[in-house]
């Protein structure tokens, strides 16, 4: 037989495009359209409905950037359409771009009731099926003219459209046709039939019979179709396809659990306020689709987004709650937002689950066992322990499929964290969280699945995401045809729990991956938008302080505890840890608002701290200066998490001149030489007799690199940035100011001022850096070349630290050329090490080289600033502050202690008491208290969270000195402060609890109070 495959396939493509799809709506009638616009913030629905309108015709420009227009759409169903299915097709001026990145709308009835959302792939509203004829149509569309930041078709181009202040007011869109239309459901189904078979056919082997069977059936169907009367002959065409559509899948076919989904970024190329509306539009669409499709299941994560619905669109929220109660709309994930997981601190990461899970429990009576993070940029090694402590056991993500160097070896596996906790993890092999159920996607999932032979199941999140939109009726129809279709994987709607239950039952002993899940992409998100990152770090520290001192004041003095205020502030900070806000990958508007929000959060938290200090310190007329130490380690004679009146400790060391030029700081424990360039050429550990700085090199060295990644400007830094760069050694000023050495430099259009100082009695050099940054597409690093032979280094993560190699033996190691740390990086040889501590930076790199003298230099570099131009063309322009400390001779314990000291500085308050005793004391230096608070249920119980921080075992006694505390009734609880089943009871004594902790183990104690 002659090979006419290409001929038939080309025929199918053209006939679908030019004849069949246009015949879906064979009859149309125009609607009357009127418009009212505002360039200000969105108005309440009632105001939009009542606003005065003017007529507008198709082809008319509308919509200033970030504006809102209300369209009034009216018309009458023609009488001759009686008995037909009729819907409105409402085109706001959509482009061919995917949903979520352009104009969108929400349709309302005249009474304000929402109907459904509109986007370019879902622009219909059902009028009736069937209609009687003569029905009056009257709708109002709240339309958002959000600018398309990539409308030019060229990605990652700088644009002023990312902030309302710079976007201008030129109309963004041209109104399309607004019309009533008869829906020919037979033709609509023929379109789906032909698309599914055509896409499946393209994925099948050419030498297989199934491909040719489909080809012949398609050819017969096209022959049966009269192109001059598609509507009259569509049924005959469908009949020719019935046999090939009825052929069942083979028993060995891969099985895909489809989960309706609309990954909605809580902010990204749109501001937070627009996400509120995106969620309303998507939820309206999905609840409507659930009513139409009985097999469909939809899952939505992010408790914050449900909370927005509850606050701003209660009528939509009511529909969601009903669908949740019916088991069709699934609250997934149990986190406040789909946060970044690399940079949030220990407590913040824990609170993502606390607030997310508690919302779902309170609102729906449901608790998810799955963590749902499809788009987060890598996963810290501390996360499994937090997941388990929150009462979950499973994780879903697909983002690791974006790695550019190595292909991750599993799709289903156990993921083991720093403490040994394991969670059952799945990466959907479909490699997208925006699956459209196309033939290529389904075939790719089956081919790509790495567990073939031992497992058969994977999950596919189905629906338009990022900017929202969700699942469409076309996707549901495709899934119905693929439920069991020869040549394809099977597709069945399921909840996330259904999938995980089946997958785990089928594959109970998958392989284990130990340590972080590092994404080999988007590494620059650890540095971009430095002020957002500083705001996050400072907010986390202030929340820790506010809880500690408010709890201490409540127990010691009876002061009121600010439950609601702390709850609200935590949720604000957690929202801003969303994986496009904290990583610095959102538009200018988002980060401008974030800076303003962090300032308000800091002011409120400072107020809480000040009120608690005042209550604890007593009458300021007493004249006693108390030092409050919020850190979990004693310092300067002040106990951890307590306060005492202390004499001056000697202050800082006064610099002395250096013969070769520059200055020397020497406190008897550490001797630092700063040369005439303002560089640290020696940091000599006097007690160990050991030099920290590599011979012939200098620390405190600022290095500037060009930084234009191949794509994803705010997200990526590519390895070739290191090929070129310059050391910033020119000095415009080098001077002594009291006990500090001040250094000033200029480069490009920017200026740097550094202040170096050394406290007495501690082996630590403090480096305060101020950068007035006005570069573009540059990367600024702060380097410390250390005379240490280290094959690995430690970087702090949640509730512990993770080790990474300094060498590049394999491609996996080479790919980690930029990584995350929290408060410290530590390198060591047996018996001696060095820590580099920070107060606000996350990105860093560590490299090694062997010198001519045979020694090894291990260089630690902190990443300070970048200057990408997309999506915010003014990223990081302005003044920034950083604090780093170089700690020679540091153990891991020293690194932990100095990290807390740098981030939780002491405070001095004048009062009338001599001390404020800590509520909790721990007798083991490796056991760190991370939270002291009152229980969230307002019971007044004391909650203490602590963890083993050094990576070893610890036998520790926790002494509790809180009025009314029933220490003998202390229980171990989970993150939601519920008793842990199966963990046994801690050893309890009089005012003390004894714990035996594994390496990096985190525990939470709940201590009842009378």
Asked if residue 871 has a cis previous peptide bond (ω within 30° of 0), the answer is yes
Backbone dihedral region of 661: left (phi > 0), alpha (psi from -120 to 50 degrees) or beta?
Answer: left
243 tagged catalytic = no
**Dihedral of alpha carbons 976, 974, 391, 466, sign:** positive
Supply φ then ψ for residue 526, to 5 degrees. Answer: -75, -10
**Dihedral of alpha carbons 898, 902, 907, 908, sign:** positive
The helix (H) or strand (E) run that includes residue 322 is helix 314-325
Q: How many Å apart are CA 152 and CA 784, to the nearest integer?
A: 43
Cβ–Cβ under 8 Å, residues 627 and 925: no
Q: How many Å apart are CA 415 and CA 392, to the nearest integer?
A: 13
Supply φ then ψ for residue 221, to 5 degrees. Answer: -65, -40
Alpha helix positions (H), 648-794: none
HEC string of 433-458 equals CCECCCHHHHHHHHHHCCCCCCCCEE
Alpha helix positions (H), 16-152: 45-50
How far CA 392 is from CA of 335, 345, 412, in Å, comes to 11, 19, 17
38's tokens: 């505002």
Q: How many Å apart are CA 540 and CA 538, to the nearest integer?
A: 5
CA angle 298, 376, 603 (to 5 degrees): 105
638 in helix, strand or coil?
strand
38 in helix, strand or coil?
strand
The length of the chain in residues reads 1010
Considering the candidates 148, 265, 340, 375, report the single residue annotated as catalytic. 375
Cβ–Cβ under 8 Å, residues 164 and 11: no
Q: How many Å apart are CA 249 and CA 255, to the nearest integer?
A: 10
Q: How many Å apart are CA 771 and CA 527, to the nearest integer?
A: 14
84's tokens: 């037909």
Supply φ then ψ for residue 306, to 5 degrees. Answer: -65, -40
How far CA 757 is from CA of 17, 290, 321, 737, in Å, comes to 72, 64, 58, 10
Strands of 548-662, DSSP E: 624-629, 642-645, 656-657
Which residue reads 């550094």 in tokens? 754
Cβ–Cβ under 8 Å, residues 973 and 983: no
Q: How many Å apart are CA 993 and CA 1010, to the nearest integer?
A: 18
Active-site annotation, residues: 375
């Amino acid at each position: 037989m002659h090979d006419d495959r290409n001929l038939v396939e080309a025929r199918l493509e053209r006939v679908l495009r030019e004849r069949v799809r246009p015949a879906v709506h064979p009859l149309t009638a125009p609607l009357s359209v009127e418009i009212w616009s505002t360039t200000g913030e969105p108005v309440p629905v009632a105001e939009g409905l009542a606003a005065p309108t003017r007529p507008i015709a198709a082809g008319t420009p509308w919509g200033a950037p970030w504006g809102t227009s209300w369209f009034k759409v009216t018309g009458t169903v023609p009488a001759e359409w009686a008995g037909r299915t009729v819907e409105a097709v409402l085109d706001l001026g959509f482009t061919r771009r995917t949903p979520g990145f352009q104009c969108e709308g929400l349709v309302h009835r005249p009474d304000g009731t929402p109907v459904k959302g509109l986007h370019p792939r879902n622009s219909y509203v059902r009028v009736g099926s069937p209609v009687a004829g003569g029905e009056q149509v009257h709708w109002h569309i709240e339309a958002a003219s959000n600018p398309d930041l990539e409308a030019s078709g060229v990605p990652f181009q700088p644009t002023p459209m990312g902030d309302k202040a710079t976007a201008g007011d030129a109309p963004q869109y041209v109104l399309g046709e607004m019309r009533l239309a008869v829906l020919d459901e037979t033709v609509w189904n023929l379109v789906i039939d032909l698309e599914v078979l055509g896409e499946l056919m393209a994925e099948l082997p050419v030498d297989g019979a199934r491909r040719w069977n489909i080809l012949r059936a398609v050819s017969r169907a096209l022959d049966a179709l009269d192109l001059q009367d598609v509507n009259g002959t569509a049924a005959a065409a469908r009949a020719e396809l019935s046999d090939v559509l009825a052929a069942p899948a083979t028993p060995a076919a891969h099985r895909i659990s489809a989960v309706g989904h609309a990954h909605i970024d809580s902010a990204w190329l749109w501001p937070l306020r627009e996400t509120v509306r995106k969620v309303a539009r998507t939820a309206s669409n999905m609840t409507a689709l659930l009513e139409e499709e009985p097999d469909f299941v939809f899952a939505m994560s992010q408790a914050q987004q449900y909370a927005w619905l509850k606050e701003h669109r209660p009528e939509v929220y009511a529909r969601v709650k009903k669908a949740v109660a019916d088991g069709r709309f699934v609250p997934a994930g149990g986190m406040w937002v789909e946060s970044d997981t690399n940079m949030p601190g220990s407590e913040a990461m824990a609170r993502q689950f606390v607030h997310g899970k508690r919302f779902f429990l309170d609102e729906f009576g449901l608790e998810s066992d799955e963590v749902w993070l499809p788009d987060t940029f890598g996963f810290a090694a501390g996360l499994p322990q937090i997941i388990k402590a929150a009462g979950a056991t499973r994780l879903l993500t697909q983002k690791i499929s974006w790695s550019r160097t190595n292909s991750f070896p599993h799709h289903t596996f156990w993921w083991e964290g720093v403490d040994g906790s394991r969670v059952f993890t799945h990466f959907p092999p479909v490699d997208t969280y925006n699956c459209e159920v196309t033939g290529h996607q389904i075939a790719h999932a089956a081919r790509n699945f790495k567990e073939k032979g031992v497992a058969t199941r994977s999950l596919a999140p189905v629906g338009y995401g990022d900017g929202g939109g969700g699942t469409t009726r076309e996707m549901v129809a495709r899934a119905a045809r693929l439920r069991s279709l020869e040549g394809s994987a099977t597709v069945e709607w399921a909840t996330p729990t259904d999938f995980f239950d089946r997958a785990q039952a089928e594959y109970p002993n998958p392989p284990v991956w130990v340590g972080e899940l590092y994404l080999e992409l988007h590494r620059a998100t650890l540095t971009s938008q430095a002020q957002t990152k500083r705001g996050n770090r400072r907010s986390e520290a202030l929340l820790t302080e506010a809880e500690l001192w408010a709890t201490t004041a409540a127990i010691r003095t009876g002061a009121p505890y600010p439950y609601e205020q702390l709850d609200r502030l935590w949720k604000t900070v957690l929202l801003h840890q969303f994986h496009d806000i904290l990583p610095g990958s959102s538009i200018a508007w988002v980060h401008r608002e974030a800076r303003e929000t962090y300032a308000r959060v800091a002011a409120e938290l400072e107020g809480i701290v000040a009120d608690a200090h005042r209550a604890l310190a007593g009458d300021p007329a007493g004249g006693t200066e108390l030092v409050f130490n919020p850190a979990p380690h004693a310092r300067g004679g002040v106990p951890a998490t307590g306060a005492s009146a202390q004499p001056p400790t000697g202050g800082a060391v006064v610099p002395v001149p250096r013969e070769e030029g520059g200055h020397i700081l020497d406190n008897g424990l550490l001797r630092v030489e700063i040369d005439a360039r303002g560089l640290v050429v020696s940091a000599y550990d006097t007690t160990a007799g050991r030099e920290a700085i590599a011979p012939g090199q200098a620390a405190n060295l600022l290095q500037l690199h060009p930084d234009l990644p191949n794509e994803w400007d705010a997200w990526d830094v590519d390895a070739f940035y290191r090929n070129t760069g310059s050391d910033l050694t020119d000095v415009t000023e080098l001077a002594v100011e009291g006990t500090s050495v001040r250094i000033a430099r200029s480069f490009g259009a920017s200026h740097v001022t550094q202040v170096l100082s050394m406290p007495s009695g501690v082996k630590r050099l403090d480096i305060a850096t101020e950068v007035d940054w006005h570069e573009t597409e540059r990367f600024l690093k702060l380097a410390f070349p250390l005379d240490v032979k280290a094959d690995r280094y430690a970087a702090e993560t949640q509730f512990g630290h993770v080790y990474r190699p300094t060498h590049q033996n394999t491609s996996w190691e080479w790919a980690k050329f930029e990584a995350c740390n929290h408060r410290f990086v530590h390198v060591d040889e047996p018996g001696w090490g060095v820590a580099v501590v920070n107060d606000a930076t996350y990105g860093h790199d560590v490299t090694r080289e062997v010198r001519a003298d045979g020694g090894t230099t291990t260089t630690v570099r902190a990443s300070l600033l970048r200057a990408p131009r997309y999506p915010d063309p003014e990223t990081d322009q302005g003044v920034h502050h950083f604090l780093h400390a170089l700690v020679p001779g540091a153990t891991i314990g020293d690194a932990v202690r100095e990290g807390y000291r740098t981030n939780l500085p002491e405070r001095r308050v004048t009062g009338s008491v001599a001390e404020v005793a800590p509520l909790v004391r721990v007798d083991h230096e490796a056991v760190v208290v991370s939270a002291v608070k009152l229980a969230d249920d307002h019971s007044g119980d004391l909650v203490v969270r602590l963890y083993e921080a050094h990576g070893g075992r610890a036998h520790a006694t926790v002494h509790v000195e809180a009025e009314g505390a029933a220490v003998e009734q202390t229980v171990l609880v989970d993150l939601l402060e519920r008793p842990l089943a199966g963990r046994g009871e801690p050893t309890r004594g009089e005012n003390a609890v004894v714990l035996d902790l594994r390496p990096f183990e985190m525990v939470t104690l709940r201590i009842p109070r009378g």
